[in-house]
Amino acid sequence: MQSWVDGQPASALASLKDRGLAYGDGLFETIAVKAGQPLLLDLHLQRLAHGCSRLAMVADHTLIRSELLAYAQAMGEGVLKLILTRGDSLRGYSFTAEAQPRRILQASPAAAYPQAYGAHGVQLFDCATRLAEQPLLAGLKHLNRLEQVIARSEWQDPAYAEGLMRDTSGRVIEGVFSNLFLVRDGGLITADLQRCGVAGVMRAALLTHAGQLGIPCQITDISLAQLRQADEVFLCNSVYGIWPVRAFADLSWPVGPLTRKLQGIARTLLDV
Residue closer to a copy of itself by CB (options 94, 212) is 94
Residue closer to a copy of itself by CB (options 102, 230) is 102
Within 153-256, residue ranges assigned H as helices are 201-212, 224-229
Nearest-angstrom CA–CA distance, 204 and 94: 33
At closest approach, how far in Å is the CB of 215 from a copy of itself? 30
Residue closer to a copy of itself by CB (options 136, 225) is 136
Residue closer to a copy of itself by CB (options 16, 116) is 16
The distance from CA 120 to its chain's CA centroid, rounded to whole angstroms, is 22
Residue closer to a copy of itself by CB (options 143, 230) is 143
At closest approach, how far in Å is the CB of 133 from a copy of itself? 6
- How many CB atoms are closer than 10 A to CB 268? 10
**Quick one: CA dihedral 63, 64, 69, 72, positive or negative?**
positive
In 3D space, the residue among 132, 144, 131, 2 whose CA is nearest the CA of residue 86 turns out to be 144
At closest approach, how far in Å is the CB of 254 from a copy of itself? 28
Contact residues toward a copy of itself (CB under 8 A) are 3, 5, 10-25, 28, 55-56, 83, 85-86, 91-95, 104, 106, 108, 111, 129-130, 132-134, 136-137, 142-153, 168, 176-177
Nearest-angstrom CA–CA distance, 8 and 149: 30
The distance from CA 213 to its chain's CA centroid, rounded to whole angstroms, is 24
> How many angstroms separate the Cα of 225 from the Cα of each of 73, 192, 229?
46, 16, 6
Residue closer to a copy of itself by CB (options 63, 111) is 111
Q: In one letter, which amino acid is 26?
A: G
